[in-house]
Amino acid sequence: MLRKNRLFTPGPTPLLPAAQTAMASFTAHHRTADFRALFQRVLVDMKEFIGTKNDVLVLACSGTGVMEASVSNLTSPGDKVLVLTAGKFGERWTGLAKAFGCNVDVLSAPYGETFSLTDIRARLTPDVRAVFVQATESSTGARHDVEGIAKIVGAQQDTLLVVDAITGLGTTHLDVDGWGVDVIIGGSQKALMMPPGLGYCAVSERAWQRMEKTSSPRYYFDLRKERKSAAKGETAYTPATSLFAALGAALEFIRGMGNGNLAQGRETLVNNAELCAEMTRAGAKALGLKLYASSPAAALTAISSPDGIDSGKIVKEFREAFDAVVANGQGEMKGKLFRIAHIGYYDYLDTIGILAALEHVLARTTARTADYGAAVKAAQEVYARSLTEKRQLVGV
Ligand SMILES: *Cc1c(COP(=O)(O)O)cnc(C)c1O
């Protein structure tokens, strides 16, 4: 049968056609009125997409670049920081903070789990300069309680909260300003439905003030320099111009999802991810599969491989039979789980389709007798219930 290549990976994610066309036809030089107009519109719209009044910066780098910028701009060598880690992306915070000479206290939860707020409270002493965490840990599919963590960090006078929401933004309801998140970080290749290449962040006034006093080395990623340029409608260095054109189109699409209101569009996009995730969880459970994460995120569903089966076989079968790209586990989790994303441009048919494919994939990779229709039926029931509950669906 004909096969269409489809990404179900937690980044990069499927591309919005309007974003692709916008970037293909964009040729403006970055020091022109045309680009300035696009740039300024995008920065204003990004505040609505993130849900913040704080200044937003968009940089030419992958998400990790902005993670690094948050460490280099907010800390000095020797500063005590607390890293909350429960997976490969949490471990990235540890590596980054160590690379910049921080005195790193690591509070870890086992893969698949999330943190106990009591443990965080016990570890958070007044001398901790910053806390680093993920909103959703893409390697395990876990959702962390950003609101609960923010409450604990907010009780400290001088501790900043930095949240890697690279897969959290656009898939999770986050009240950035209300909860007091000092730096929130995203990337273009996730819920914004664009290719990789842009990293972005929103920075609180407290965090801007901290940057004036810190001494870690920074040059390209000096956020103060970018903020000054942004105030004049420019970037400090050559921006990824065509990606800005794509971003403009993606934000228009999200505004359309909210009937002209971008903040509403963001909520709708999050609800869409939640519904895709709920359908997928129900489908997986109906096939007797176990979810890997105890507090699953809407960004992706990590499914444990059935006993004795290497998840690599499942990933390979999805690819060979259906040209569907799902993600294997990372690092020590390789072979133990597979991950199906719901970030950004996924709809009902994508979700039903991947679950129907999963029924075939399991029948071919395990000794189980095929249970055709079981996952699809469970997902259909979730979907039908969402209609009677009048939960918002994306209809563009
Ligand atoms: C994708 C992702 C990143 C960023 O990775 P890059 O490859 O640098 O874009 C960071 N954190 C999380 C949770 C992610 O999902």
Domain at 310, CATH number: 3.90.1150.10
CATH number of the domain that residue 98 is part of: 3.40.640.10
Please check the confidence at residue 219 and state whether its pLDDT lies above 50.
Answer: yes
Asked which of 191, 222, 257 is the last residue of a domain, the reply is 257
Task: Give yes or no for residue 164 CB within 6 A of ligand 1.
Answer: yes
| Residues 243 and 270 reside in one and the same domain | no
**Residue 4: C-alpha distances to residues 64, 114, 284, 314, 317 (Å):** 30, 36, 23, 18, 15
Q: Does residue 130 carry a pLDDT above 70?
A: yes
Same domain, 208 and 320: no
Phi, psi of 241, rounded to the nearest 5 degrees: -55, -45
Tens of pLDDT, residues 242-299: 999 999 999 999 999 999 999 999 999 999 999 999 999 999 999 999 999 999 999 9
One domain, residues 281 and 214: no
Tell me which residue of 41, 344, 351 sits closest to 196, measured CA to CA. 344
Same domain, 226 and 305: no
* Domain enclosing residue 361, as ranges: 6-11+261-394
Co-location of 222 and 278 in the same domain: no
Q: Could you tell me if 239 and 288 lie in one domain?
A: no
Are 165 and 294 in the same domain? Answer: no
Do 213 and 301 belong together in one domain? Answer: no
For residue 325, pLDDT over 60 is answered with yes
In the three-class reduction of DSSP (H, G, I as helix; E, B as strand; rest coil), residue 335 is classed as: coil
Instruction: Please state, in angstroms and as integers, the Cα–Cα distance from residue 97 to each residue in 54, 110, 168, 287, following that order.
Output: 24, 20, 21, 42
Torsions phi, psi for 329 (to 5 deg): -70, 160
pLDDT at 395: 43
| Same domain (yes/no): 117, 39 | yes
**Is 134 near ligand 1, meaning CB less than 6 Å away?**
yes
pLDDT at 212 over 50: yes
- Among 195, 228, 257, the domain-final residue is 257
- Is the CB of 299 inside a 6 Å radius of any atom of ligand 1? no
Res 396: pLDDT: 38
Mean pLDDT throughout 14-33? 97
Residue 72 CB less than 6 A away from ligand 1: no
When divided into structural domains, the chain yields a total of 2
Same domain, 251 and 267: no
Task: Say how far residue 122 (Cα) sits from the centre of its chain.
Answer: 28
Reduced to 3 states, what is the DSSP secondary structure of residue 284?
helix
Q: Assess contact for 348 and 395: CB atoms under 8 A.
A: no
pLDDT at 368: 84
Q: What is the distance between the alpha carbons of residues 155 and 145, in angstroms, rounded to a whole number?
A: 16
**Residue 367 confidence (pLDDT):** 86
Can you give the pLDDT at residue 392?
A: 54
Going from the Cα of 117 to the center of ligand 1, the distance in angstroms, rounded, reads 24
> Which atom of ligand 1 sits closest to the CA of residue 65?
8
Across all residues in the chain, what is the average pLDDT? 97
In a domain, 1, yes or no: no
Domain boundary among the residues 257, 283, 310 is at 257
Q: Quick one: residue 2, left, alpha or beta (phi over 0 = left, psi -120 to 50 = alpha)? A: beta
DSSP 8-state assignment for residue 291: B
